[in-house]
Chains A and B, each alone.
Chain A
Amino acid sequence: MSGFQYVVLIPIIPFLMFLLIGLVGHKMKPALAGLIGTTGLFISTVLSYITAYQYFFVSGKVNGVYEKIIAFNTVWLQLTDKLHIDLGVLIDPISVMMLVVITTVSLMVHIYSNGYMKGERGFQRFFAFLGLFSFSMLGLVLATNIFQMYIFWELVGVSSFLLISFYYDKPSAVAAGKKAFIVTRFADLGFLVGILLLSYYTNTFDFVSLTTPGCPAIVQAAGITFMGISVVTLALVLIFMGGAGKSAMFPLHIWLPDAMEGPTPVSALIHAATMVVAGVYLVARLFPIFALTAPSALTIVAYVGGFTSLFAAVIACTQNDIKRVLAYSTMSQIGYMMLALGVSGYGGEDGLGFMASNFHLFTHAMFKALLFLGAGSIIHAVHSNLMTEMGGLRKYLPITHITFLIACLTIAGVPFLSGFFSKDEILTAAYHHDKILFFVEYAVAGLTAFYMFRLYFNVFWGEDRHYHHTPHESPLIMTLPLMFLAFASIFAGYLPFSELVTSDGAGFESHLEMPIAAASVGIGLLGIFVAWVMYKKPSGAPVKMATTFKHLYKWSYNKFYMDEVYLFVTKKIIFNNISKPVAWFDRHVVDATMNGFAWAANYASFNIRDLQSGQLQKYAFVFISGVVVLVLSFVYFFMN
């Protein structure tokens, strides 16, 4: 026995909390529901930490390599003779790392929400949904096979939908939830077809057999081509489409900014730290296949990631809603992670990108959750999302201010904070693989520092605005998670990731490459400096910049018009040009034909009925005419 059976409890507990609060929550006092949910998650968190400790430091390593352990597995549905969907628990470095990330952030969000959501309608419902989400996300990372991952992938999607549309009487929230679900569903279609394709050629869904280097099924499938492309590559690209949808990669990112309609703690949990990195996790999970069998698919991953990170960073520079700035920043950072995977090789130091990606995933989860929760604290204080309605808040919100500043410094890559280490590994990996991508990321590093400090200076410095009431610091139950996450943001960089989470399970020595590190710190500081000049005090500089780069500014401000494209496709094409004609065709052609038959029958019978008039003379006439015709026919046919 592996001794990890208890891990199955980690997702089960939040699920039970979901059922409990979901079914009887409305009869509870809100505070009790909050307490139950938080306690449940606390237990899961403790169990995850125990798992991490036991796996990384006690029993996970065999011959210097971290093994994949199946702690539990059961057949859920037998499909064909060979294919079956299992539900189980797979333990390996990335799943354990994700356990820690998810439970930590989820616990912080649970605690924080006790304060943030206080007095809201549907407080219990909120905690029930958080439980559902935590369950789904944990089930996703623990999946032993790709179909289990797909199952939880969908569940994560629906929890996200429910939480985005949490304020369900607000039309914009409903629309945002709908959009998120449909866009990711579209992406999941690719994922599904990818799974079907991969499983058809390999006859298995199982991750362990698929990701073993040199897996015979994969090698065999790689030889089969479709239109000159290996089916494995094709399948992986399709699967990556699913990942790109969830992780908001261009052009499937359009749902993420709108998803900010959800309550802020939700944004922190789902749309910053956990769900949106599911795509990264998916690629990391299948990484051996990507790296060893389908390098061209990996190149696509790298370029999609690189482009998204630049694209999102440019947009983030002009947005006014603080949550949207953070949303674009999240996209940009996830682009980093994707890119890191894309430039990575397999095994040993070649796998630097893989390690860096997971490292960044980990540190990003901490500082981005901190940024969102901090933003929640700010919004809680001033009752607005707009930066233009904020300013000088550092006096009123001291704890929020300090923790937010720490997070900003971390994301900007200031030395010795966690973001510095993880980002630097990514830049190093990119530098050794592809110079174009390196320079893109290098520029993004500068932009990141700029837009984060633009946000920071606008909110906490500058002039006071007219607030309805004096903003006040949030209660301890909200600031405590901020402090914890700030602590994590500072020190997470010192975790020996290259020893723990690597592409092949074996540790390697990683070291900072001084020139790259120095250059990245330099551009980070430059970004901060520019933001300081422009936004520390009110000045004409921002406007001047906006007029100088008029077109770029306008396009960036309007998010490169991607929403208009989305509306065009859904409203104009699908609704007006497909569905309406289909509905019309059904009523006026197919159904009309049916009615036409009925009408014809009716018409015929209406006319034929004259034959049965009841008049004897008429019958006699018809009878005799008939006889005459018959006789004549007989004569004609038989006499010849």
Chain B
Amino acid sequence: MGILSFLVLIPTLTIIAILFTNDKKQARLVSAIGTGVQLILAGVLVWMYLTERSAGNTAQMLFTQDIMWYPTFNIHYAVGVDGISVAMIALTAVVLFAGIFASWEVEFLNREFFISLILLSSGVFGFFISLDLFTMFLFYELAVIPMYLLIGIWGTGPKEYSAMKLTLMLMGGSAFLLVGILGIYMNSAAAGQPLTFNLIEIAKISIPIEAQRFFFPLTFIGFGVLGALFPLHTWSPDGHASAPTAVSMLHAGVLMKLGGYGCFRVAMYLMPEAAHEMAWIFIILTTISVVYGAYGAIVQKDLKYINAYSSVSHCGLVIFALLMMNKTAMDGAILQMISHGLMTALFFALIGMIYGRTHTRNIYEMGGLMKVIPFLSVVYVIAGLASLGLPGLSGFVAEMTVFVGAFQHADTFHRVATIIVTTSIVVTAVYILRVVGILLLGPIKNEEFNHFKDAKWFEKLSTITLLLMIAAIGLAPLWLSNMIQHSLIPIIQKLAVTTGI
């Protein structure tokens, strides 16, 4: 059994183990151990991947495994990873680990909470390792559905409404996606071969352009909904605002990345001509996303809404960069996914911790938190600085790679779009500093705040894990960037050959 299958197996075993626990303490301990092992496994995977590459293995996918699953439709359990999926897996493991500790004190239906959370994560892991479109879609649904329960049961505010909205919108996306995937499948046969769902096999042939024109937008929008593509992003603010802390972390941190990942791995990789033809539409939409999300964030009062709009802006940049279709910009897109995943998870963790103390998320009801909870406040400031792209933290690396990549297109349309997108660095600074100023600095707003206790050990563990990753990428980005760029080569080649860029 390959190392990749363990990535799905360990969460499953953890879930089974949680079923046998008796109380809250045992359940969370088991979850922590399970996700801890998963984190170590992800670390081992990164290490194995790098050794394999430095040993000169140039195969596109490593650690592959292929088991026939449903012969009638030629569906396989086919797994394999390249540098990009490895990076995404590591991101997921980190966010999940931090998420478990951020929900250390969940009281209500504690076991069920952890089970749903880990179930969701196993869907995500499965998605990132899959090379078979059908299996991938299955894992995708596995990741989306527990979200409904998690928000509907453990959420706050208008949770049923939000859960319903989020699930329905994502399901709507899935419907598009399913049609798109089936369309790809129907056109997947190489000469004399049966139809296949295998991504790598399909990439070897070219799908007829008429089919691409029809199925590319469906697939792209299907994934785009999850990637908060304007104007299909509105599930994000409501969904996040109602979701419990760890769910927001995983959702914004990891699940939204499924969208971006799917956009290039499935839609753009398999249907490059259509991607090239229609890129302009989506470039316009994502350019709007980036700026619109940032301006939208300026006037919000609820911390989670601010972060949700900020995510719209940052995730817009991911898809924007993907559509630039060159190595640098796509490298930037993936860096941005990772960076945003870590940052936003950290933000949601902190917001949850602050909410746990103040019982409000309205920034105008808070103020001067720096004095009473300095640890959390300092981490919040650092997360904010990462978000506005301070060098030395991950956001800068990602944004600059995107900008330089996008700037390699010299035509007016791309230039103008790029320059509009770069203005977001100023707007981001405005909303981040606004929150920091109102929430953390200034005089203490409420007498009761004086009784707050600063971060507990599990809160520190959760935030520091994320912070260390953010700083590590920000300080030494070269290894990660090389790993991604190397894996992008086959994709870029396919884009370049078929589109003649």
- Residues of A72-87 contacting chain B, CB below 8 A: 75-80, 83, 85
**Quick check: is B392 within 8 A (CB to CB) of the other chain?**
yes
- Residues of B300-330 contacting chain A, CB below 8 A: 300, 326-328
Q: Are B433 and A182 in contact (CB under 8 A)?
A: yes
Report A44 CB to chain B, min CB distance, Å: 20
**Quick check: is B36 within 8 A (CB to CB) of the other chain?**
no
Q: Are B481 and A77 in contact (CB under 8 A)?
A: yes
Report A491 CB to chain B, min CB distance, Å: 38
Contact with B along A176-195 (1 / 0, CB 8 A): 01100110011011001100
Contacts of A574 in B (CB 8 A): 295, 298, 430
**Quick check: is A594 within 8 A (CB to CB) of the other chain?**
yes
Q: Are B407 and A200 in contact (CB under 8 A)?
A: yes
Q: Are A77 and B401 in contact (CB under 8 A)?
A: yes
Contact with B along A273-309 (1 / 0, CB 8 A): 0000000000000000000000000000000000000
A178–B441 Cα distance when bound, in Å, is 11
- Residues of B378-434 contacting chain A, CB below 8 A: 385, 388-392, 396-397, 400-401, 403-405, 407-408, 410, 418-419, 422-423, 425-426, 429-430, 433-434
With A154-B396, A175-B437, A199-B404 in contact, is A193–B419 under 8 Å at CB?
yes
A206–B208 Cα distance when bound, in Å, is 45
Contacts of A75 in B (CB 8 A): 478
**Quick check: is B490 within 8 A (CB to CB) of the other chain?**
no
Contacts of A161 in B (CB 8 A): 433
Contacts of B444 in A (CB 8 A): 169
Contacts of A582 in B (CB 8 A): 292, 295-296, 299
Report A524 CB to chain B, min CB distance, Å: 41
Closest residue of chain B to A184 (Cβ to Cβ) is: B429
Contacts of A79 in B (CB 8 A): 328, 400-401, 404-405
With A181-B433, A594-B234 in contact, is A78–B485 under 8 Å at CB?
yes
Q: Which of A155, A174, A197, A580 is the one whose CB lies under 8 Å from B442? A: A174
**Quick check: is A463 within 8 A (CB to CB) of the other chain?**
no
Q: Which of B390, B403, B482 is the one whose CB lies under 8 Å from A78? A: B482
**Quick check: is B168 within 8 A (CB to CB) of the other chain?**
yes
Q: Which of B168, B292, B396 is the one whose CB lies under 8 Å from A151? A: B396
Contacts of A580 in B (CB 8 A): 299
Report B301 CB to chain A, min CB distance, Å: 10
Q: Are A77 and B433 in contact (CB under 8 A)?
A: no
**Quick check: is A196 within 8 A (CB to CB) of the other chain?**
yes
Q: Are B441 and A168 in contact (CB under 8 A)?
A: yes
Contacts of B407 in A (CB 8 A): 196-197, 199-200
Q: Which of B238, B368, B391 is the one whose CB lies under 8 Å from A154? A: B391
**Quick check: is A434 within 8 A (CB to CB) of the other chain?**
no
- Residues of B416-472 contacting chain A, CB below 8 A: 418-419, 422-423, 425-426, 429-430, 433-434, 437, 440-444
Q: Are B408 and A80 in contact (CB under 8 A)?
A: yes
Q: Are B298 and A575 in contact (CB under 8 A)?
A: yes
Number of A-B residue pairs with CB-CB distance less than 8 Å in the complex they form: 137
Report A571 CB to chain B, min CB distance, Å: 11
**Quick check: is A546 within 8 A (CB to CB) of the other chain?**
no
A186–B426 Cα distance when bound, in Å, is 6
Pick out which of these stretches binds chain B: A45-53, A258-266, A583-591.
A583-591
Q: Are B478 and A78 in contact (CB under 8 A)?
A: yes
Q: Are B478 and A578 in contact (CB under 8 A)?
A: no
**Quick check: is A165 within 8 A (CB to CB) of the other chain?**
yes
Q: Are B477 and A575 in contact (CB under 8 A)?
A: no
A177–B404 Cα distance when bound, in Å, is 29
Contacts of A151 in B (CB 8 A): 391-392, 396
With A77-B481, A155-B390, A200-B408 in contact, is A182–B430 under 8 Å at CB?
yes
Report A8 CB to chain B, min CB distance, Å: 16
Q: Which of B168, B368, B408 is the one whose CB lies under 8 Å from A598? A: B168
A185–B168 Cα distance when bound, in Å, is 40
Contact with B along A403-437 (1 / 0, CB 8 A): 00000000000000000000000000000000000
**Quick check: is A539 within 8 A (CB to CB) of the other chain?**
no
Closest residue of chain A to B429 (Cβ to Cβ) is: A185
Q: Which of A147, A185, A196, A199 is the one whose CB lies under 8 Å from B425? A: A185
Report A180 CB to chain B, min CB distance, Å: 10
A161–B385 Cα distance when bound, in Å, is 11
With A174-B441, A182-B430, A598-B165 in contact, is A189–B298 under 8 Å at CB?
no
Closest residue of chain B to A192 (Cβ to Cβ) is: B422
**Quick check: is A152 within 8 A (CB to CB) of the other chain?**
yes
Closest residue of chain B to A187 (Cβ to Cβ) is: B426
Contacts of A170 in B (CB 8 A): 442
A580–B371 Cα distance when bound, in Å, is 31
Number of interface residues of A (CB under 8 A): 51
**Quick check: is B370 within 8 A (CB to CB) of the other chain?**
yes
With A181-B429, A182-B426, A189-B422 in contact, is A579–B478 under 8 Å at CB?
no
With A154-B390, A193-B419 in contact, is A579–B296 under 8 Å at CB?
yes
With A75-B478, A79-B328, A79-B405 in contact, is A583–B410 under 8 Å at CB?
no
Contacts of B235 in A (CB 8 A): 594
Contacts of A80 in B (CB 8 A): 326-328, 404-405, 408
Report B230 CB to chain A, min CB distance, Å: 8
Contacts of B296 in A (CB 8 A): 579, 582-583, 586
**Quick check: is A171 within 8 A (CB to CB) of the other chain?**
yes
**Quick check: is A158 within 8 A (CB to CB) of the other chain?**
yes
**Quick check: is B231 within 8 A (CB to CB) of the other chain?**
yes
A580–B430 Cα distance when bound, in Å, is 14
A196–B370 Cα distance when bound, in Å, is 37
A76–B370 Cα distance when bound, in Å, is 34
A578–B426 Cα distance when bound, in Å, is 14
**Quick check: is B118 within 8 A (CB to CB) of the other chain?**
no
Q: Are B477 and A594 in contact (CB under 8 A)?
A: no
A79–B441 Cα distance when bound, in Å, is 37
Report A573 CB to chain B, min CB distance, Å: 11
A379–B127 Cα distance when bound, in Å, is 64
Q: Are B478 and A185 in contact (CB under 8 A)?
A: no
Report A399 CB to chain B, min CB distance, Å: 36
Contacts of B441 in A (CB 8 A): 165, 168-169, 174
A598–B171 Cα distance when bound, in Å, is 13
**Quick check: is B169 within 8 A (CB to CB) of the other chain?**
yes
Q: Are B404 and A83 in contact (CB under 8 A)?
A: yes
A7–B419 Cα distance when bound, in Å, is 37
Contacts of B298 in A (CB 8 A): 574-575, 579, 583
Closest residue of chain B to A157 (Cβ to Cβ) is: B390
Report B114 CB to chain A, min CB distance, Å: 31
A158–B391 Cα distance when bound, in Å, is 10
A39–B140 Cα distance when bound, in Å, is 57
Q: Are B442 and A168 in contact (CB under 8 A)?
A: yes
Contact with A along B224-251 (1 / 0, CB 8 A): 0000001111110110000000000000
Contacts of A171 in B (CB 8 A): 442-443
Closest residue of chain A to B410 (Cβ to Cβ) is: A200
Contacts of A189 in B (CB 8 A): 422-423, 425-426
A10–B481 Cα distance when bound, in Å, is 29
A598–B423 Cα distance when bound, in Å, is 35
Additional A-B contacts beyond A83-B328, A165-B441, A583-B300 (10; CB < 8 A): A79-B404, A182-B429, A185-B426, A185-B429, A193-B419, A196-B403, A196-B404, A579-B299, A594-B169, A594-B235
14 CB < 8 A contacts A-B: A75-B478, A77-B397, A78-B482, A168-B440, A169-B371, A169-B441, A182-B429, A185-B426, A189-B423, A189-B426, A579-B295, A579-B298, A583-B298, A598-B168
Interface residues of A (CB under 8 A from B): 75-80, 83, 85, 147, 150-152, 154-155, 158, 161, 165, 168-171, 174-175, 177-178, 181-182, 185-186, 188-189, 192-193, 196-197, 199-200, 574-575, 578-580, 582-583, 586, 590-591, 593-595, 598
Interface residues of B (CB under 8 A from A): 165, 168-169, 230-235, 237-238, 292, 295-296, 298-300, 326-328, 368, 370-371, 385, 388-392, 396-397, 400-401, 403-405, 407-408, 410, 418-419, 422-423, 425-426, 429-430, 433-434, 437, 440-444, 477-478, 481-482, 485
List 3 A-B pairs, minimum CB-CB distance, nearest first: A579-B298, A591-B234, A151-B391
